[in-house]
């Protein structure tokens, strides 16, 4: 291992640090006639790479230019092609530069042409795994990362790529096992931030928060610390603590002003604090830095909640345009498109899109929740409920999941469950959505107080009598003598 590390330093490498997912890849060179040591900011990026920290966007751009210049004279240097491809992937993620995905794929394929994967080109295989994950093709990401693991089982970044792939597919047990492999090989800030995300996905909030704090303390350099602070803010937001979340996002943005996920997240938290003008400002800034469709969708819903119909329409039109651009570059946009169609378009089309995702292997709690809600909005609530039960059992403690389940139960006359889950959503995060949180409060008011008679009547359909505020259709069920579920 010491010899391999020395070789890595000698030939120069790249880290492709995926800021959204936190994937950091260090690429060791294999060509004895490889490029000379990198100067200035590239050398600093190389040092950050070997320490497991993300490089800045300007450093990535400089590294892309440097690799292009080198490869004009050395077109068979497979390590440099792999580094170039991974740099393009990272640029695509950082700036929503959709065209960079195609450039990344071309470069990685050139690397494999120079040295096939089965002959030891782990760099290219790992680069393709990260590229596939960035495009939301988690099946392919798993396949490439598994091949890379066979070649380099002691490289921690291989296991990190597997964590992301398994998480995207909803295979939490496999993700936890890969996380254990990461932790056994590397104990830096990136490992702890990854642990925070995995624990959050399982609903283990205390463990997630502890790991996130550890990541902030262990971070080296401004980009890595900023990412760790953003992750900490996300956990505060999900616990319904917008003021604490804003403080974390502010700290992250002071270190890394171009950190667009922190801008979009701060917008969400500012809206919860009724600082809506600032929230819209941050959404616009995030979209300028990285025009991602999910940012436009959130901004549109905030504008709609404020009765800014013209702005809402403009944001929603931007959602569709950005999704089309991303899809044209091989990005799987079905989940985001389905969420848009469910609440702002054609729920039946959303069901079709999400069935394709589920059948294709993307069976994460997020997919299950989205499918359940789409089925409900399409008038098929009974089909959706089992999906929501699964999402809440396997996934994070989510106010959105709880609200969706409560509304589905309310539509099915399951008023005890509806009260419990809509109330849970508002207790978890009273401002979880500018459109849905007010709807949740109205629904809870309409449901009224639970009926007399004890816990038995709080589960399932409450068809027998009750106190004031009991829904009228519940009383009609009582008159028919329908059995209590």
Which of residues 86 and 463 earns the better pLDDT score? 86
pLDDT at 150 > cutoff 80: yes
Q: Which two tokens stand for residue 70?
A: 């080198």
Confidence class for position 484, pLDDT limits 50, 70, 90: very low
Confidence class for position 90, pLDDT limits 50, 70, 90: confident
Condensed to tens digits (0 to 9), the pLDDT of residues 417-446 reads: 999 999 999 999 999 999 999 999 999 999
Torsion of CA 274, 279, 281, 282, to 10 degrees: 150
Condensed to tens digits (0 to 9), the pLDDT of residues 351-368 reads: 999 999 999 999 999 999
Helix 172-185 and helix 189-201: axis angle, to 10°? 160
Mean pLDDT on 239-260: 96
Please, are residues 283 and 309 in contact by the beta-carbon 8 Å criterion? no
What is the spatial distance between Cα 442 and Cα 334, in angstroms, rounded to a whole number? 31
156: closest CA among 15, 35, 42, 362? 15
pLDDT at 468 > cutoff 90: no
Helix 2-11 and helix 40-50: axis angle, to 10°? 160
pLDDT at 450: 79
Confidence class for position 104, pLDDT limits 50, 70, 90: very high
End-to-end CA distance of the chain: 62
Q: Which two tokens stand for residue 30?
A: 């294999």
What is the spatial distance between Cα 371 and Cα 196, in angstroms, rounded to a whole number? 26
Q: Provide DSSP, 168-212.
A: HHT-HHHHHHHHHHHHHH--SHHHHHHHHHHHHHTT-HHHHHHHH
Distance of CA 213 to the CA centre of its chain: 19
What is the spatial distance between Cα 250 and Cα 258, in angstroms, rounded to a whole number? 12
pLDDT at 109 > cutoff 70: yes
Condensed to tens digits (0 to 9), the pLDDT of residues 111-122 reads: 999 999 999 999
pLDDT at 163: 97
Beta carbons within 8 Å of 408's beta carbon, 6+ residues apart: 372, 373, 376, 381, 384, 385, 388
pLDDT at 382 > cutoff 50: yes
Which of residues 56 and 257 earns the better pLDDT score? 257
Confidence class for position 453, pLDDT limits 50, 70, 90: low
pLDDT at 31 > cutoff 80: no
Please give the C-alpha separations between residue 277 and each of 258, 301, 308, 315, 323, in angstroms, as whole numbers.
20, 14, 12, 15, 26
Please state the length of the chain. 485
pLDDT at 93 > cutoff 60: yes
pLDDT at 313 > cutoff 90: yes
Please, are residues 49 and 13 in contact by the beta-carbon 8 Å criterion? yes
pLDDT at 396: 95
Mean pLDDT on 292-307: 98
What is the spatial distance between Cα 408 and Cα 403, in angstroms, rounded to a whole number? 9
Mean pLDDT on 103-131: 95
Condensed to tens digits (0 to 9), the pLDDT of residues 177-211 reads: 999 999 999 999 999 999 999 999 999 999 999 99
What is the spatial distance between Cα 20 and Cα 442, in angstroms, rounded to a whole number? 34
The number of beta carbons lying within 10 Å of the beta carbon of residue 151 is 17
* Average pLDDT value over all residues in the chain: 86
pLDDT at 80 > cutoff 80: yes
Q: Provide DSSP, 16-84.
A: --BTTTTB--B-----TT-PPPPPHHHHHHHHHHHTT-PPPHHHHHHHHHHHHHHHHH-TT-HHHHHHH
pLDDT at 15: 35
pLDDT at 472 > cutoff 80: no
Mean pLDDT on 60-66: 86
Phi-psi region of 266 (alpha: psi -120 to 50; beta: other; left: phi over 0): alpha
Which of residues 450 and 23 earns the better pLDDT score? 450
Q: Indicate yes or no: pTM above 0.95.
A: no
351: closest CA among 380, 374, 381? 374
Condensed to tens digits (0 to 9), the pLDDT of residues 207-240 reads: 999 999 999 999 988 888 999 999 999 999 999 9
The number of beta carbons lying within 10 Å of the beta carbon of residue 445 is 9
Q: Give the DSSP letter of residue 459.
A: S
| Residue listed under structure tokens 């550890």 | 214
What is the spatial distance between Cα 180 and Cα 68, in angstroms, rounded to a whole number? 37
Beta carbons within 8 Å of 35's beta carbon, 6+ residues apart: 11, 12, 29, 66, 67, 70, 74, 77, 80
What is the spatial distance between Cα 340 and Cα 319, in angstroms, rounded to a whole number? 8
425: closest CA among 410, 409, 414, 441? 441
pLDDT at 47: 42
pLDDT at 356: 96
pLDDT at 95: 87
Confidence class for position 41, pLDDT limits 50, 70, 90: low
pLDDT at 60: 80
pLDDT at 405 > cutoff 90: yes
Confidence class for position 40, pLDDT limits 50, 70, 90: low
Confidence class for position 467, pLDDT limits 50, 70, 90: very low
Strand partners, 15: 26
pLDDT at 449: 83
pLDDT at 35: 66
Range of lowest pLDDT (76-90, 247-261, 369-383): 76-90
Please, are residues 31 and 123 in contact by the beta-carbon 8 Å criterion? no
pLDDT at 465: 33
pLDDT at 162: 97
């Amino acid at each position: 291992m010491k010899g391999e590390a020395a070789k890595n330093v000698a030939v120069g490498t790249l880290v492709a640090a995926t800021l959204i997912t936190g994937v950091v890849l260090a690429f060791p060179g294999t060509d004895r006639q490889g490029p000379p040591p990198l100067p200035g900011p590239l050398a600093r990026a190389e040092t950050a790479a070997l320490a497991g920290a993300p490089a800045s966007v300007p450093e990535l751009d400089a590294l892309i230019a440097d690799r292009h210049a080198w490869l004009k004279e050395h077109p068979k240097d497979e390590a440099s092609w792999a580094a170039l491809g991974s740099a393009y992937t990272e640029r695509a993620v950082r700036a929503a530069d959709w065209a960079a995905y195609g450039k990344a794929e071309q470069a990685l394929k050139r690397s494999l042409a120079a040295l096939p994967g089965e002959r030891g080109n782990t760099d290219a295989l790992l680069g393709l795994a990260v590229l596939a994950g960035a495009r939301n093709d988690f099946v392919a990401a798993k396949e490439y990362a598994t091949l890379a693991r066979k070649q380099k089982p002691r490289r921690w970044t291989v296991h990190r790529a597997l964590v992301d792939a398994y998480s995207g597919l909803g295979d939490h047990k496999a993700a936890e096992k890969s996380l254990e492999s990461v932790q056994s090989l590397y104990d830096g800030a990136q490992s702890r931030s990854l642990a925070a995300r995995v624990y959050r996905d399982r609903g283990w909030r205390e463990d997630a928060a502890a790991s996130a704090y550890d990541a902030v303390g262990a971070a080296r350099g401004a980009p890595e610390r900023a990412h760790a602070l953003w992750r900490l803010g996300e956990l505060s937001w999900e616990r319904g603590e917008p003021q604490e979340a804003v403080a974390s996002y502010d700290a992250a943005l002071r270190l890394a002003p171009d950190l667009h996920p922190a801008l979009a997240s701060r917008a969400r938290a500012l809206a919860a604090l009724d600082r809506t003008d600032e929230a819209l400002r941050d959404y616009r800034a995030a979209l300028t830095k990285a025009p991602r469709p999910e940012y436009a969708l959130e901004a549109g819903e905030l504008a709609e909640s404020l009765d800014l119909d013209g702005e809402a329409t403009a944001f929603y039109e931007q959602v569709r345009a950005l999704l089309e651009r991303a899809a044209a570059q091989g990005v799987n946009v079905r989940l985001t498109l389905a969420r848009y169609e469910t609440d702002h378009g054609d729920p039946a089309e959303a069901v079709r899109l999400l069935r394709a995702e589920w059948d294709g292997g993307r069976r994460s709690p997020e997919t299950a929740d989205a499918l359940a809600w789409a089925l409900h909005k399409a008038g098929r609530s009974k089909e959706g409920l089992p999906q929501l039960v699964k999402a809440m059992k396997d996934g994070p403690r989510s106010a959105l999941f709880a609200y969706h389940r409560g509304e589905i139960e309310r539509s099915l006359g399951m008023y005890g469950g509806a009260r419990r889950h809509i109330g849970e959503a508002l207790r978890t995060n009273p401002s979880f959505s500018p459109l849905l949180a007010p709807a949740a409060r109205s629904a809870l008011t309409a449901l009224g107080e639970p009926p007399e008679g004890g816990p038995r009547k709080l589960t399932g359909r409450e068809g027998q009598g009750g106190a004031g505020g009991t829904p009228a259709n519940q009383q009609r069920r009582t008159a028919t003598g329908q059995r209590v579920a």
